[in-house]
Amino acid sequence: MTFIDTNQLSAKEPRDGWKGRFFHSRNMTFAYYSVEAGAWIHEHSHPNDEVWNVLEGQLEFTIGGQSQVVGPGWAVVVPPGTAHAAKSLTDVRAIVVDHPRRHSIGGVEL
């Protein structure tokens, strides 16, 4: 696929309040998230590089025990194998990119 209209992808909900539209390139997974205020992701780690790009709203993000509130224009880089967690302080829209590709997120097959 060269051109992808993410609005046409079906939404999946890997965690309560986290709705994502997912697709893959050859080596990466892309997630276009809409997140409800108050939704959270428990502390976890995985072998992928992960980059979050916040488009709207505010997230409290914790990486390796360091917390930061991030909003529009912020990027969050999570190195492989690093513990991280997130809580949505408001409704949020974000794009998350993982390398290498992921086959599931939160137990949901992609």
CATH of domain 13-109: 2.60.120.10
- Domain locations along the chain: 13-109
pTM reported for the whole predicted model: 0.94
Contacts for 16 with CB less than 8 Å, ≥ 6 apart: 39
For 17-57, how does the pLDDT look when each residue is reduced to its tens digit (9 = 90+)? 999 999 999 999 999 999 999 999 999 999 999 999 999 99
The reported pLDDT for the residue numbered 106 is 86
In percent, how much of the chain has pLDDT > 70?
99
Contacts for 84 with CB less than 8 Å, ≥ 6 apart: 43, 44, 45, 50, 61, 62, 63, 64, 78
Helix, strand, or coil here: 21? strand
